[in-house]
Amino acid sequence: MRQIKIKRLYDAPAPEDGFRVLVDRLWPRGIAKEKAEIHHWAKEAAPSTELRKWFHHDPERWNEFERRYRAELATRTDLLREIVALGGDRPLTLLYSAKDRTHNQAVVLKDVLERI
């Protein structure tokens, strides 16, 4: 089974990250694209704009956000398989910019990708 990790984009890149995929729809503030060291930006795998705005990183909305996001991802299986394939045999690190390390889209996406 492929190793899939999640990491804040603001944390320093490391060789063990393998294939680094940004999973935010918007480019994170304060990070220069050349310094981000990402291999792929999977905007389409991020929550829809409507869902992102509704959630607004409110932990009280987490369960409903997770349910809605999983429903969105269920319609994007080809894209998800492509993300996994792009990394080849390397570990896959999903990068996100949210401050909350527990309640963010990468947590949900990791679980979904591990089941593909």
> pLDDT tens digits for 17-70?
999 999 999 999 999 988 889 999 999 999 999 999 999 999 999 999 999 999
Residues 63-94: pLDDT tens digits? 999 999 999 999 999 999 999 999 899 999 99
The angle formed by the CA atoms of residues 72, 77 and 78, to the nearest 5 degrees, is: 130
Look up the pTM and report it: 0.94
Per the CB < 8 A criterion, the answer to whether 97 and 10 are in contact is: yes
Q: Give, in order, the Cα–Cα distances in Å from 55 to each of 30, 58, 67, 68, 113.
A: 22, 6, 12, 10, 21
Kindly give the residue spans of alpha helices, DSSP state H, lying in 13-61: 33-36, 49-55
Q: How many Å apart are CA 105 and CA 70, to the nearest integer?
A: 10
